[in-house]
Amino acid sequence: MAGNFRVVVHRNSDSLHLRLEGDFDGGSAHQLLCMLGASGGKAKRVFIHTNGLKEIHPFGKAVFQKNLADFMGQRANLVFTGDKGTEIAPRGHRVLA
């Protein structure tokens, strides 16, 4: 995992907000997937805020997009926000720039 990667978590009512910060590599993608699998099912909507991302490594993007369905299934509605949202969001997911 990128040494400068972290996820800041915030909940409000039935939404979960995950603010990504630092570089997004394969380890970072796996950490995010595990967090989504563990807590995403309890929220109706999960917002993934990407403005804090610096660099997105192609392998991290591929790991995240390929494995998201295995970790999440159809349990929550994912919404990606920020400039990097379109870059990491799998096809078919909502992006707010």
Q: At what angle do helices 58-72 and 26-39 cross, to 10 degrees?
A: 20
pTM reported for the whole predicted model: 0.89
Alpha-carbon 4 to chain mean position: 16
For 6-96, CATH number out of 3.30.420.40, 3.40.50.300, 3.30.750.24, 2.60.120.510 equals: 3.30.750.24
Q: Which residues make Cβ contacts (< 8 Å) with residue 32, sequence separation at least 6?
A: 7, 18, 20, 48, 64
List, for residues 41-92, the tens digit of each pLDDT value.
Answer: 678 889 999 999 999 999 999 999 999 888 776 556 899 999 999 999 988 8
Q: Is the pLDDT of residue 21 over 80?
A: yes
